[in-house]
Amino acid sequence: MSSRSHRTRTVLTFGVCLVLLAGVHALSYLSQRDLIRSIEWVSHTRDVEREIDRLLVNLERAQTEVTAYQITSDPGYVQSFGERMVMADEQVAKLKELSADNPHAQQMLDEVRGEISESLGGWAATYLVAPAAPPTLEQLSEGRSRRREQADKLSSKIVKLGENENELLQERRSAQSFYTKLTSAAFGAAAFVGMVLLLGIFTLLMREIDLQLKAQGTIVHLHSGLEREAAKLKLVNKELETFSYSVSHDLRAPLRSIDGFSHALEEDYRDKLDDEGRDYLNRIRNAAQRMGALIDDMLELARVTRSEMHLGDVNLSAMAREIMGRIAIADGERRVRIQIEDGLHAWGDKALLAVAFENLLANAWKFSAKNPDALIEVGMAQRDGERTLFIRDNGAGFDMRYANKLFIPFQRLHAVTDFPGTGVGLATVQRIIHRHEGRIWADGEVNKGATFTFTLPMEADDA
Amino acid sequence: MNQQSILLVEDSPDDVDLTLRAFKKNNMLNEVFVARDGVQAIEFLLGKEGEKDPNPGPLPGLVLLDLNLPLINGIEVLKRIRSEERTRLLRVVVMTSSREEKDLVDSYHYGATSYIRKPVDFNQFIEAVRQLGMYWLVLNEAPPAGVAKP
């Protein structure tokens, strides 16, 4: 799976989880709000019931007090009758206030209020004024039963009100239990969904962590592998260095003995040798010296391959002039036209590029030796939008059929007797150009000359 | 020619013979002492280690030092020569097969007077020895004997 689609999937999953969680929490919030409201309703209904009880008690007392006054004529019983009337009125008003949401109760309360004031007011007017004569037993009993009747009627009405309110309470109770159930269901669902989501996220995260750990493990493994390879390479390089050091020392020493004692033989025993013997000795010496040259060139090739690069801007025009000058001085007898373009430069290792130029320019000098009108050119050309540098001579040239053999070490296209050399020079040049991420190729024609063209980085970023 | 002696520090008998031959070819008649390893070279110049009163002979005018030596290598010999008061200013020309940069750098770092790579071609070797003798034993003004530290 690509990391992009993985990412998209993660974002989507997370979005869905968020929406689910938010929905569940909204639901549980709503049901909780309703629950609180229904709890409030229940307590409200209780308040109404309590108030109804108080009113009933008040009325009952009023009735009883009037009866006691009638029997005893003691005004102490009815001294607070006025207060009772006011209290009853207040109690009804409070009930109206409490049941403001219930139109039926309001209506009933209005009736009750009228009847209370009528009954109590009637009692006050009929029984509480001082009678001319004490009432008869009959009168007493009749008044009492009438009051009883009135009080009962009132009570039943009030009780009905209470029943009405009680019904409401039952309704609300059942509503409350419904909301309680809904709330707990919503909370349960929220908790469940939350847990499921958490589990999902946990699983996803664990998988991510595992994947990452695995990737890290792979990286660490690769890294340690690379480190081991690097250490091995370092060891091999070290061995190679030791090897070329001992080649440099030990392989050359016997050659010196061969050449030196051949020289001694030639000088000290000249009389005892005929021409053939002296020729053999000469050949021995030539062979020893040639092997010495081969060893030197091989070491140079190895050095060029492994030496550390110190990069910088190199003035190739100045470098070519200096090297050409040195070659011309060493071989002062020849007249060669030299044309070196100004402003040639490259980004590279000065010492390595000098070795490359020395080889190329020495070749140009060497192979143009048989042309009396020799010309060596160093310049720049654009080729397919790319800058190329070239070193050209009008010397012996070569057959293009063998162009691919030019850069192979020890491959030569000319006899050593015609043009001396080890055949390592161009291989060395090629390695240097390759180490600069460049390319080199050769064009030539027999007896017309050769052109070596190569690319080199111009700026630090090109390399 | 001047009659200063030469100490040749060289383990290969072939090289000793060829070097002596090159001296002869150049008519260098200086007395030549040969040390076959690093220990012999140091004993010749500084006396035997541990002896109470070492009494080494007169110092040579020139030391030709090979680097690949048995027991103690050339660079170590050079270090000893430069660290001793008696031989501090001695002319030591490193003469070796190697052209490795490391040897060159080390030699000059530890105070070699000059560094010559022995060529395979014996004619070139004779020429090198000639120029060497001419320069260091004839043309060059040696520091006065017994120069103390400045």
In Å, how far is A359's CA from the nearest CA of chain B? Answer: 19
| ipTM for the complex shown | 0.81
Do you know the residue count of chain A? 463
What are the distances in angstroms from CA A143 to CA A165, A341, A403, B133?
33, 147, 149, 167
Contacts of B121 in chain A (CB under 8 A): 259, 285, 289, 292
Confidence of residue B16 (pLDDT cuts 50, 70, 90): very high
* Contact call for B15 and A289, based on CB within 8 A: no
Tokens 């946990």 locate to: A202
Say if residue A368's pLDDT is above 80.
yes
pLDDT at A67: 81
Tens digit of each residue's pLDDT (9 = 90 or more) over B17-37? 999 999 898 888 888 999 998
Contact B122/A at CB under 8 A: yes
* Contact call for B68 and A249, based on CB within 8 A: yes
pLDDT at B145: 58
Sequence-ordered list of residues with C-beta below 8 angstroms from that of A61, at least 6 positions apart, any chain? A84
Mean pLDDT of A179-200: 80
Tens digit of each residue's pLDDT (9 = 90 or more) over A147-185? 788 878 888 888 887 787 778 778 777 776 777 777 778
Tens digit of each residue's pLDDT (9 = 90 or more) over A115-154? 888 888 888 877 777 665 667 778 778 877 887 888 788 8
Contact B119/A at CB under 8 A: yes
* Contact call for A245 and B100, based on CB within 8 A: yes
pLDDT at A379: 92
Sequence-ordered list of residues with C-beta below 8 angstroms from that of B79, at least 6 positions apart, any chain? B110
Contact B68/A at CB under 8 A: yes
pLDDT at A155: 82
Which amino acid is residue B144, in one-letter code? P
Contacts of A297 in chain B (CB under 8 A): none
Q: Are B111 and B78 in contact (CB under 8 A)?
A: yes
pLDDT at B2: 47
pLDDT at A347: 92
pLDDT at A133: 64
Contact B148/A at CB under 8 A: no
Contact B73/A at CB under 8 A: no
pLDDT at A388: 92
pLDDT at B56: 66
Distance between CA atoms of residues B108 and A346, nearest Å: 32
pLDDT at B67: 87
* Contact call for B97 and A289, based on CB within 8 A: no
Distance between CA atoms of residues A283 and A285, nearest Å: 5
Token pair of A105 as six digits: 């109760």
Buried b (16+ CB within 10 A) or exposed e, A106-132: eebbeebbeebeebbeebbeebeeeee
Token pair of A179 as six digits: 């909301």
Of A360, A368, A359, the residue nearest A394 (C-alpha)? A368
* Contact call for B14 and A261, based on CB within 8 A: yes
Bridge partners, B7 (sequence order):
B33, B63
Of A439, A438, A431, A441, the residue nearest A409 (C-alpha)? A431
* Contact call for B14 and A256, based on CB within 8 A: yes
A225, containing H or E segment: helix A137-246
Handedness of CA A138, A144, A145, A146 (dihedral sign): positive
Of A82, A104, A106, the residue nearest A93 (C-alpha)? A106
Handedness of CA B107, B112, B114, B116 (dihedral sign): negative
Mutate to test the interface with A, among B99, B121, B127 (most CBs of A within 10 A): B121
Mean pLDDT of A417-427: 80
Residue in chain B nearest A256 by alpha carbon: B120
Q: Are B34 and B63 in contact (CB under 8 A)?
A: no
What are the distances in angstroms from CA A284 to CA A262, A271, A280, A291, A433?
7, 19, 6, 11, 36
Beta-carbon count within 10 A of A97 CB = 11
Of B63, B65, B67, the residue nearest B32 (C-alpha)? B63
Distance between CA atoms of residues A399 and A447, nearest Å: 9
pLDDT > 90: what percent of chain B?
17
Mean pLDDT of A100-111: 82
Residue in chain A nearest B122 by alpha carbon: A260
Say if residue B148's pLDDT is above 60.
no
* Contact call for A256 and B120, based on CB within 8 A: yes
Query: Which of B18, B68, B97 lies at the smallest CB-CB distance from A260?
Result: B18
Distance between CA atoms of residues A423 and A406, nearest Å: 8
Distance between CA atoms of residues B12 and B21, nearest Å: 14
Distance between CA atoms of residues B128 and A278, nearest Å: 25
* Contact call for A289 and B98, based on CB within 8 A: no
Distance between CA atoms of residues B34 and B13, nearest Å: 10
Say if residue A301's pLDDT is above 50.
yes
Contact A245/B at CB under 8 A: yes
Confidence of residue A71 (pLDDT cuts 50, 70, 90): confident
Confidence of residue B149 (pLDDT cuts 50, 70, 90): very low
pLDDT at B150: 46
Of A360, A358, A396, A392, the residue nearest A376 (C-alpha)? A392
Radius of gyration of chain A, Cα coordinates, nearest whole angstrom: 62
Say if residue A23's pLDDT is above 90.
no
Sequence-ordered list of residues with C-beta below 8 angstroms from that of A95, at least 6 positions apart, any chain? A48, A51, A52, A55, A105, A109, A161
Say if residue A12's pLDDT is above 60.
yes
pLDDT at A236: 86
Tens digit of each residue's pLDDT (9 = 90 or more) over B107-130? 899 989 889 888 888 898 899 888
Tokens 């042309």 locate to: A371
pLDDT at A390: 94
Say if residue A391's pLDDT is above 90.
yes
Query: Which of B100, B102, B118 lies at the smallest CB-CB distance from A256?
Result: B118
pLDDT at A130: 64
Mean pLDDT of A423-436: 90
Mean pLDDT of A84-103: 84
Sequence-ordered list of residues with C-beta below 8 angstroms from that of A394, at least 6 positions apart, any chain? A368, A371, A373, A374, A375, A448, A449
Residue in chain A nearest B13 by alpha carbon: A257
In Å, how far is B42's CA from the nearest CA of chain A? Answer: 23
Contact B91/A at CB under 8 A: no
Token pair of A101 as six digits: 């949401």
pLDDT > 90: what percent of chain A?
22
In Å, how far is A249's CA from the nearest CA of chain B? Answer: 5
Tens digit of each residue's pLDDT (9 = 90 or more) over B34-88? 999 888 888 888 887 666 555 667 888 889 999 888 888 889 899 989 988 888 8
In Å, how far is A293's CA from the nearest CA of chain B? Answer: 9
Q: Virtual CA dihedral for A303, A305, A306, A310, nearest 10 degrees?
A: 90
Contact A253/B at CB under 8 A: yes
Tens digit of each residue's pLDDT (9 = 90 or more) over A259-293? 999 999 988 998 898 989 889 998 999 888 888 88
Tens digit of each residue's pLDDT (9 = 90 or more) over A396-412? 888 888 888 888 887 77
